[in-house]
Amino acid sequence: MPHRDRVLMGPGPGNPYPEVIEAFSRPVLGHLDPDFIALLDETNERLRAVWRTQNRLTFPVSGTGSAGMEAAFVNVVAPGDVVVVGVNGVFGERMCDVAERCGAQVIRVEAPWGQPLDAQQLLDAHPAPAIIAVVHAETSTGVRNDIAPLAARPVGTLLLVDCVTSLGGIPVEIDDWSVDIAYSGTQKCLGVPPGLAPLTLSERAVESIVERPQSWYLDLNMIARYVTGEGARAYHHTAPITMIYGLHAGLGALLAEGLEASWARHAECGAALHAGLEARGFRLFAADGHRLPELTTVWLPDDLPAGLDDATIRGRLLDRYGIEIGGGLGEFAGRVWRIGLMGHTARPRNVTLLLGALDELLDR
Strands (E), 17-127: 57-61, 82-87, 105-110
Contact between 105 and a copy of itself per CB under 8 A: no
Instruction: Name the segment binding a copy of itself (CB under 8 A); options: 3-11, 174-182, 202-210, 347-355.
Output: 3-11
Contact between 142 and a copy of itself per CB under 8 A: no
Q: Which residues contact 61 (CB under 8 A, 6 or more apart)?
A: 67, 68, 71, 183, 196, 197, 198, 199, 218
220, 239, 336, 357: which one binds a copy of itself (CB under 8 A): 239
Contact between 46 and a copy of itself per CB under 8 A: no
Please check whether residue 21 is in contact with residue 243, taking contact to mean a CB–CB distance below 8 angstroms. Answer: no
Shortest approach of a copy of itself to residue 85 CB, angstroms? 14
Shortest approach of a copy of itself to residue 6 CB, angstroms? 6
| Backbone torsions φ then ψ of 103, nearest 5 degrees | 90, 10
Shortest approach of a copy of itself to residue 193 CB, angstroms? 4
Sheet holding 295-299, edge to edge: 7-9, 323-327, 336-340, 295-299
Contact between 243 and a copy of itself per CB under 8 A: yes
* Residue number with CB closer to a copy of itself (255 or 287): 255
Contact between 70 and a copy of itself per CB under 8 A: yes
Contact between 240 and a copy of itself per CB under 8 A: yes
Q: Which residues contact 219 (CB under 8 A, 6 or more apart)?
A: 75, 212, 213, 236
Residue 126 vs residues 73, 116, 199, 262: alpha-carbon distances, Å? 18, 20, 26, 37
According to CB under 8 A, which residues from 185 to 214 bind a copy of itself?
185, 187, 193-195, 212-214
Q: How many of the chain's residues bind a copy of itself (CB under 8 A)? A: 64
Work out the burial of residue 106: count CB atoms within 10 Å of its CB; fewer than 13 is exposed, 13-18 middle, 19 or more buried: buried
66, 105, 115, 228: which one binds a copy of itself (CB under 8 A): 66
Pairing state between β 158-162 and 181-183: parallel
Sign of CA pseudo-dihedral 89, 94, 99, 101: positive
Contact between 92 and a copy of itself per CB under 8 A: no
* Residue number with CB closer to a copy of itself (45 or 173): 45
Site residues, a copy of itself (CB under 8 A): 1-6, 8, 10, 12-13, 15-16, 21, 24-33, 35, 38-39, 42, 62-67, 69-70, 74, 94, 97-98, 101-102, 185, 187, 193-195, 212-217, 236-243, 246, 248, 318, 324
